Structures are given as C-alpha cells and as structure tokens.
Amino acid sequence: MFDNLSQRLSGVIKTLRGQARLTEANIQDAMREVRMALLEADVALPVVKDFIAKVRERSLGQEVMSSLTPGQAVVQVVYQELTLLMGDHNATLNLAARPPAVILLAGLQGAGKTTTAGKLAKFLREQMKKKVLLTSCDVYRPAAIEQLRTLAQQLETDFFPSEVGQQPEKIALDALDFARKHFHDVVIVDTAGRLGIDEAMMDEIKRLHAALDPIETLFVVDAMQGQDAVNTAKAFSDALPLTGVILTKLDGDSRGGAALSVRQVTGKPIKFVGVGEKVAGLEPFYPDRMASRVLG
C-alpha cells in the first residue's frame, strides 16, 4: 500500500528539501503535485481540498522556523497534517463497561468482519488478558456462523452457538446472559452484512445496537474498496453511533485513500488495521507511523 503515493510524494519532497528559499510559487507547485498524488491514491476530494488548504496556509509562514530550511519545514508540515488527518494518536479499545463489555462489529459482506472478530478475540486475550466470548448474529448464512465457530475453536476461545433463522437480538442477549454467568470480560458480536447498503441491514444492526448497548461499535471496512469504502463508512456512521473503524486488507494493493479519508469523513478513529488473512494479522493503528509510511 501507499507505493504509488509515496513515490509521487518523494519527488515533491526532494524538490522541497533542496530549496533554501521558498516562494509562494514554489509552494503552489508543490501543493499541486501533492494534490494530484492524493487524488490518484483515491483520497476523497473534500479531504484533499481541506488538507492542501491547511498545508499551504501553514507553509507560507515557515521562514520563521530557524532550525530547518524552509523546504524541510514544509515537509514537516505535510507529515504533521497527514498524522492529524488520520487521527493524531492511537485510539485504543474502550472496555470501560460493567463486564461483559460488548463489541459490536458492523460492515458489508466480505469486508472481513468474521475474520476480524477472531483477530480481536486473539488480541484481547493475549494483549489484554481478557476472557472473550464470540458469537455470530449472521442468521442468513450458515457458513458465516460456521466460520466463526471454527475460528473460535482454533483460538481456543469460547463460542456462543447460534442458528440460521433465529432472531439476532435474541442470540445477542442470550450470549450476553451466558457471558455474565461465565464471567467473560468481553463479548464480540459478529453481524450479518450484505453486498451493498440496504435498509433491512441497517434496521437490523440498529436494533441489535439498541438491544446490546455496546461500549464499542466498530465498522469493519475493506481498504481495497477505495472511495467506496469511505462512502460506506459514512452511511454506517450516519445510521449508527460508531466508536471506531477497522480497516482491513491493508496488506493488499489498495492505494491508501481509505486510510487517509475515513477519519475525516466519519469523524471516527481507525482503531485497528487488518494486515493479513491469518488471525495474527491485526495491528493497532498509529497515525504517525502511517504518515511516515506515506512519506516513504
């Protein structure tokens, strides 16, 4: 990811770094290049516009910073603004609820919800020493329930069974009850996704949300979907009080636009990224590290 974007930006950066004096025209040229590079990487247009405006404004006053050449100072501004764009700092999971803390996963079919449920269970158990219960409310696809059951088995994590045709809220509430009785710290609830956004899916997840009152409602989205990922994130974020986003398939050849846009478009932090199909392929999201990667 970011290969093309990094390549494009490194050209701009090289030119900027070499400048002992920067004129408004130099900055203008550089910003034009940055703008093109971001658009080509599938960053949402309003995000690009806003970003360029901020960098330009801050760059014009850079001569006053004595420790860096003006060119270096502009590069520093770009780095800082990229970091801010993605949320500034790592947003951790919030589990401050009376146990069990509920994590509800939402997203389209194929986004990586079920895989992510398993990854999160592993993360919570190994990194945070939590006792986790997994359950699936995907009552339309037996394969989805089976997939989670298999993952749970592989991870030696408890699984609350469900069946096609059951009512999602009932499954979730029964799972919660079970978790209370068996002293689980966290319940991860996987949900049904559809191929596109539709009203029935939104209604169902809203009802689940109302019934469960989760401490975390995480939207799982496939980074490979570029602009569509951001549009879908916006639609879910408008319908549900999301607490964060998990961007999957960052190991693929996505151009990176979703990583750079999703925070600003939804106002919700990216909490984790998926970096592989295996259960170990989950990493907390660090905006500053991602910005460094973008800048190569």
Q: Does 228 bind ligand GDP (CB under 6 A)?
A: no
The only residue of 59, 62, 83, 114 in contact with ligand GDP, by rule CB under 6 A: 114
Task: Work out which of 209, 249, 255, 263 binds ligand GDP, going by CB under 6 A.
Answer: 249
Number of neighbouring beta carbons within 10 Å of residue 33? 16
**Does position 288 bind ligand GDP by CB under 6 A?**
no
Write down the residue that tokens 């190994």 correspond to: 126
For ligand GDP, which residue of 71, 100, 112, 257 counts as binding (CB under 6 A)?
Answer: 112
Place of tokens 């516009």: 49
Pairwise CA distance, residues 49 & 115, whole Å: 35
Closest distance to ligand GDP from the beta carbon of 164 (Å): 15
Member of 11, 196, 252, 267 binding ligand GDP (CB under 6 A): 252
CB 171 → ligand GDP: shortest distance, Å?
A: 16
What is the rounded distance in angstroms from the CA atom of residue 119 to the CA atom of residue 114?
Answer: 9
Contact 7, 295 (CB under 8 A): no
Give strand pairing partners of 272: 246, 284
**Residue 266 to residues 13, 67, 110, 224, 241, Cα–Cα distance (Å):** 29, 37, 21, 18, 11
Q: Is 196 in the site for ligand GDP (CB under 6 A)?
A: no
Instruction: Please tell me the distance from the alpha carbon of residue 67 to that of residue 169, in angstroms, as a whole number.
Output: 59
Q: What's the closest the beta carbon of residue 284 comes to ligand GDP, in angstroms?
A: 14
Region binding ligand GDP by CB under 6 A among candidate stretches 108-116, 121-129, 195-203, 208-216: 108-116
* Residue 241 found at the interface with ligand GDP (CB under 6 A): no
Which residue ranges make up the site for ligand GDP (CB under 6 A)? Answer: 107, 109-115, 193, 248-249, 251-252, 274-277, 281
